[in-house]
Every structure is written in C-alpha cells, then in structure tokens.
Structure 1
Amino acid sequence: MPMKLCPTKPRILETAITLFSMKGYSGVSMRDIAREVGISPPALYNHFDNKDALYRAAVSATFEDKSARLFTAMSASKEPLQCLQGFMEAITTEIQEDRSFHRFMQREMLDADDERLAFLGNFIFNKVQQPFTQLLEKLKPGCDADLLSEMIFGMAKQHFEMTPVRPYTSMNAAGERTAADVARMILSVLTPFFREVDK
C-alpha cells in the first residue's frame, strides 16, 4: 500500500477509534494504526508520543462533537420536558448512527481497565451526565437522578444492542425501529412518571 504523504490528525483519530472498537485497546498497536492510515510508525509518533496519548485524543475528539450535540439538545427549551424530548432524540440518533463508538464503549466496559475507565468517567461521561441529572432533578425534584439517568441511557441503547441477535428471535417480526421510534417509546414511559405528583 502506498504511503499517504500528509495524513490529517482527524483521519488518525477516526482510524484509532475504529480499530479500538474492533479489537480492544490491548489488541491494537501503534503499528496497526499507522498501517491502516497508510503512514510509517515513526510518522505516527510525530503526532502522538504513545498509544495512551493517541487513545485519549481519539476518545476526546470523538466524544466532543457528540457531547456538544447532546448538550445543545437538552438546552434548546426552557421547558424541561421538551429538553428531555430533544435529548432522547439526540442520544438515540447518536447510538444508531455511530455503532463503532458504541461498540468501543462496550469493549471498554468489558475490559474494565481502571485508568481508562477513570478517564472516560471524569473527562467524558461527566460532560453529559452532570447536566442531564440536573435536568432530571428539575423534572422530578427529589428523585434519584443518578440511577434514573443510568436507566434512561440503558433504555436508549438496548434496542440497538439487540440488533445482532434480533433476526434469531421473535422480536425480528417488527424489524429495527428508528432512533425516533425508540425516543418516542422511552418518552411515553417516562412522561407519566415525571407528571406524577408525589404523595
């Protein structure tokens, strides 16, 4: 394969995320990434000192756009329920459209490396999780917003996680729903809970 003369950092970062999602952190070397991009390993080291630095840059770059879109969606209205609707539509769309990043996150959870998980929690998830729990607290003061947010994220991703096995189950009859379908179903479940008056 001929070497590309001037690969851009975005191309390197995108390639790294794709390979990490397919093989896991331990299954990918700097040489693998360089080969996939079409450059020599020394050229790759001109951009990143080591695999950990490349990993952190790739995850940050990938999540930066996502978190911006999610934050915009949950800040688009002064009405909290409309903000939740916008957020659910945005998060289900992100999950449906970027399976590579979703698969990457699943691998990281399974690998359970403390240092990488700390990075993901402190510098990635909290960017979305904190404002989202604040929104949930507005919708339902006094609720366990942390637990509720985990349950909502679980609902958002579950349909898409079942895609590989669905053809072999009775769930296949209806086919795969769109992100909008999934968001509407989640909202139909949540809305009565938020409107319920605590006694």
Structure 2
Amino acid sequence: MVARERILDVALKLFRIYGVKGVTMFDIARDCGMSKKTVYEHFSDKQSLIDLGMQQLLNTHSAYFQETHTAAENAIDELVRSMKYITNMARSFNPVMLFEIQKYHPDTWKNIENFQRDCILYGITENLKRGMSEGLYRQNLDLNVISRMRQLQLDAAFDQLQYPPDQFDMSAVMEQITAHFILGIATIKGHKLVNQYLQIKEEE
C-alpha cells in the first residue's frame, strides 16, 4: 500500500472510532508509522483527509447498494442484505463522527446529505417499487411517505440523542427497526419470505 493510501486508510479508521474532532495529524502519522511531515506531503490539512475519507466511504456504500440491488433475489432479500451491511458497519462506527462533521464541517456534511438523497432515499424508493411489482409489498404504499419514513428510521439509529450509545447497541437498533419496517409493508406472501430470512439470520 502506497503512503497516500495508507494515510487515508488509517485516518478513516481513526475517524470512525474516535470521531473527527479529537483525531490530530500527529495521531494519524503515529498510527501510520511515519512522520507528520510525510503526512503533510500528501495531505495539506486534516480537512482534506476528512473530505476524501468521507467521499471514499460514501463511494464504498454506493457501490455495495448497487451491487446488492442487482444480486438480490427479490426486494426483501435486498432489504435484508442492506440491513446486514449497515449493521456490520455500525459495529465499528462511532456515531459521534457524523455529529461532529455536521457541526464542524458543513461542506463535508453537505456531501453526506446529497448521498442520503441521491443514493439512500433513491434506493429505498426503488426497493419499494420492486417489492410492489413482485407482490411482496402492499400495493397501497405511498412511496414518498414510506421512503422518507424509512430514511428517518435509518437517521435515527445513528442519532445519539435518540439512541444514546451507553444505553443502546446500534446494530441491535438497526435490526429491530428494519424488521418492524419490513413486516409493516409486506403482503402475506412477503411475510412468509420475511420470516424465512429472519429465521436464517437468527441461525447465523
């Protein structure tokens, strides 16, 4: 791994664990096993690391969701796969990172908001359409309402005020709200599939 890639990888790991405010360029250099001068040769400041790191993270998420949409057998399979991905991500993710980016780095946060609209909200809407066409979701769903409700659920799971990390495990929260969401929109046919997928998940 070249120095620039290593610096970015380490910085993103530290941001995800500790948030962005408390991580210094010295911390990043130390964990990379290189001098701070070397880090600055590749990145002018911490802001550039935050911007590039978040963009890389968003690109990874976007690629996964696109791949899942293609590979999933049906809409419920797609939704469960996405839930597992988000749950696994949540286990190594400190919600304070998003809070600090929103508060201290508005330009970076704008990119995250664009991702939430162009990727997350769009993906939720497309999944709803797919499930309805497959007869797995109820036909009377209002796509604009339900898609935004699901997005709000996802946002809330990462909100420390709603689910304080010392009281809630984020992955458990994500699993609960997703199961509730699927069961609420599924048809009888869909419910049978949901129960199968949830059973498989429990056995894993």
Quickly name the TM-score band, shorter chain normalised.
0.5 to 0.7
Give the AA of the match of 2:100: R
Measured on the aligned residues, the alpha-carbon RMSD in Å equals: 3.7
Structure 2 portions without partners, runs of 5+? 133-140, 189-204
1:107 equivalent to 2:109? Answer no
1: CA distance, partners of 2:164 / 2:174: 13
Q: Percent identity?
A: 19
The alignment covers a number of residue pairs equal to 177
CA offset at residue 118 of structure 1?
A: 0.9
- The 3-state SS of whatever aligns with 1:65 is helix
Deviation at 1:23, TM superposition (A): 5.0
Distance 2:8 2:116 in 1: 16
Which 4+ runs in 1 deviate beyond 4 A? 154-159, 176-179
- Please give the TM-score of this superposition, normalised by the length of structure 2: 0.64
Q: How does 1:22-37 map to 2 (within 5 A)?
A: 22-25=18-21, 27-37=22-32
Structure 1 position 64 matched with structure 2 position 67: no
| Counterpart contact for 2:153–2:177, Cα < 8 Å | no
Asked if 1 retains the 8 angstrom alpha-carbon contact of 2:58 and 2:115, the reply is: no
* Other-structure match for 1:134: 126
Instruction: Report the Cα distance in structure 2 between the residues aligned to 1:23 and 1:91, rounded to whole angstroms.
Output: 18
Q: Is the 8 A contact 2:7 2:28 kept in 1?
A: yes
Structure 1 residue 20: Cα displacement: 3.3
Question: After alignment, is 134-143 or 86-95 more displaced?
Answer: 134-143
Query: Closer, same or farther in 2 for the Cα pair 1:86/1:20, shift >3 Å?
Result: closer
Kept after mapping to 2: 8 A contact 1:108/1:117:
yes
- Provide Cα deviations, 1:132-190, integer angstroms capped at 9, x if missing partner: 2322344435442442232331465579x555235xxxxxxxxx6976x9537622443
Instruction: Give unmatched runs, 5+ long, in structure 1.
Output: 1-5, 167-175
Pair 1:193–1:131, CA change in 2 (3 A) = closer
Residues 188 and 127 of structure 1, relative CA distance in 2, 3 Å threshold: closer
The structure 1 residue matched to 2:50, chosen from 55, 61, 65, is 55
Q: Relative to structure 2, which stretch is displaced further, 123-132 or 57-66?
A: 123-132
CA distance in 1, matches of 2:116, 2:29: 25
- Amino acid paired to 2:85: A
Greater displacement, 69-78 / 85-94:
69-78
| Matches of 1:66 and 1:112, distance apart in 2 | 23
